Amino acid sequence: MRLEYFQLIDRIVDLDLAQQTICAEARVPSASTIFEGHFPGYPLMPGVLLIEAMAQTSGWLVIAVTRFSRMPFFAALKEAKLRSFVHPGESLSLSAKLLHEGSGYAVTRAEIRCGSKLACNAEITFRLVEFPNPEFRASMEKMAAILEFPIGALAQRFAPYLVHPLAPLDLDKQIPKKGDQRQMEPWQRIGTYAAGLALADAGVKGNSELLARMDMIVAAGGGERDVAVDAAILSNKRKSANPDAFLNERLMSDLRPTLFLAQLSNLLAGNVSIVHGVTGSSRTFMGEEAAGVDAVRIALARITAGQSELALVGGSHNGEREDLLLLYDAGGHMLRGRFARGVPRSGVARACTGAQRQAARAALAGAVGAISAPGRRNHGCTGAHVAKPRSAGATRTYCGDLRRNRRTAGDERGARMARDPTRRTGTGNGQLARTRV
């Protein structure tokens, strides 16, 4: 320990991302000015510093689970117990387990042992925020090296599956309000970020007149599940004396408003509208690859038919979702082992992707200058690579499976309107307007 620098752990000795646990060690200094006042003649490690040591251990676990994308700040303490004295010169073993991570918060259960004796334990809640600035992040990376934080373990989070993690994004540039960032899950942040890039690239970002006329067609999956809640329910339901009552109680307390068992797909379009001010008509296609193709096709058809002048079309996908890894692997689609270019293998290496594009009628495209005509430009953010199946048969089977995506009634109406330009279309504010070719 370096008490004068508030470094209360010496080394991280184990990090298990599968079990979401961490172990660290520390040695209480034999001499410190703190012991001169706490207490004269009977030096003891202050209880508040023991709690801080548990918080630091837990914090590194949260940083690992979020792959250095969030900084955990101490928010609340629950059921803290100081069970025995800790004296100068004693060696401590610290451990923590993640109980919950989501909605901008994380909860851990931590403890400190002195030999085999439990010294203290507590449940700690953290608020998760973006790193305030690059300098702060760099200082944390430097401290990680000092503590022997296993950076390499982060790349193995999804082993044995091949998953390319999303590169770090400066979300403040496209989603300036921290409150907006906190209430979004990764797939929403990815899509909203990509939408901001597309609008800026087209030269219409902040142009309220054009944004009010801009239609939006978004492809999105079924949203993200709270894996920690799922795991807690599955683990404890069988132990409950009344499983049905336990299930209802947990679902009522753990699921947030606007959620069913996963997030609603149209939350992405809603966030793009709130953050970037796109207020024309909005359609959401629920699904993945096939839904994305349909979104582009419908946008182009509506512009060609004269039903739309200006459109923002695209979607996002979080390839790191553990529930989707399970589903893909159950179908035999996930690639395993190390990534290697040029090696013929059939399967999928998942990645996070956000893609948005601007499309406009030719006359309007000329008027706004930088804006792109259909099929010309797009903008997005993605993981490092996406490995595609090398076998044509495997590709057909894979795409065939993913074409079984559900679409909403609104999507079907959009398809009918594209075929019939004289049909009515929503204007985004609940009114109806007659469209003309």
Q: Which CATH number does the domain housing residue 17 bear? A: 3.10.129.10
pLDDT band at 318 (very low <50, low <70, confident <90, very high): confident
The string of pLDDT tens digits covering residues 21-78 is 999 999 999 999 999 999 999 999 999 999 999 999 999 999 998 888 889 999 999 9
Catalytic residues: 38
Residue 245 falls within a domain, yes or no? Answer: no
* One domain, residues 145 and 181: no
* One domain, residues 136 and 180: no
Query: 94-108, 200-214, 232-246, 381-395: which range is least confident on average?
Result: 381-395
* One domain, residues 117 and 215: no
* One domain, residues 318 and 382: yes
The larger pLDDT score, comparing residue 180 to residue 364, is at: 180
CATH of the domain at 309: 3.40.47.10
Q: Is 312 exposed, middle or buried (0-12, 13-18, 19+ CB in 10 A)?
A: buried
pLDDT band at 369 (very low <50, low <70, confident <90, very high): very low
pLDDT band at 256 (very low <50, low <70, confident <90, very high): low
Residue 241 falls within a domain, yes or no? Answer: no
* One domain, residues 394 and 374: yes
* One domain, residues 71 and 209: no
What's the confidence (pLDDT) of residue 156?
Answer: 66
The larger pLDDT score, comparing residue 78 to residue 247, is at: 78
Give me the helices (H) in 114-215, please: 134-146, 151-155, 178-183, 186-202, 208-213
pLDDT band at 376 (very low <50, low <70, confident <90, very high): very low
What's the confidence (pLDDT) of residue 352?
Answer: 80
Q: What average pLDDT does the structure give for the chain? A: 78
- Asked which of 153, 179, 198 is the last residue of a domain, the reply is 153
- Domain around 424: 163-225+262-434
Q: What's the sign of the alpha-carbon dihedral 39, 44, 50, 56?
A: positive
* One domain, residues 88 and 39: yes
Residue 237 falls within a domain, yes or no? Answer: no
Residue 235 falls within a domain, yes or no? Answer: no
Per 3-state DSSP, the chain is made up of helix, strand and coil in percentages (nearest 5) of 40, 25, 35
Residue 132 falls within a domain, yes or no? Answer: yes
- Asked which of 124, 153, 182 is the last residue of a domain, the reply is 153
Taking the C-alpha atoms of residue 188 and residue 231, their distance in angstroms, rounded to an integer, is 23
* One domain, residues 211 and 97: no
Residue 428 has pLDDT above 70, yes or no: no
* One domain, residues 53 and 168: no
What's the confidence (pLDDT) of residue 238?
Answer: 84
What's the confidence (pLDDT) of residue 341?
Answer: 67
Taking the C-alpha atoms of residue 149 and residue 151, their distance in angstroms, rounded to an integer, is 6
- Asked which of 153, 187, 203 is the last residue of a domain, the reply is 153
* One domain, residues 381 and 430: yes
Residue 158 falls within a domain, yes or no? Answer: no
* One domain, residues 344 and 278: yes
Helix (H, G, I), strand (E, B), or coil: what is residue 75? strand
Q: Please provide residue 267's backbone torsions phi and psi, each rounded to the nearest 5 degrees.
A: -65, -30
Strands 91-102 and 71-82: unpaired
* One domain, residues 167 and 279: yes
What's the confidence (pLDDT) of residue 383?
Answer: 32
Residue 355 falls within a domain, yes or no? Answer: yes
pLDDT band at 185 (very low <50, low <70, confident <90, very high): confident
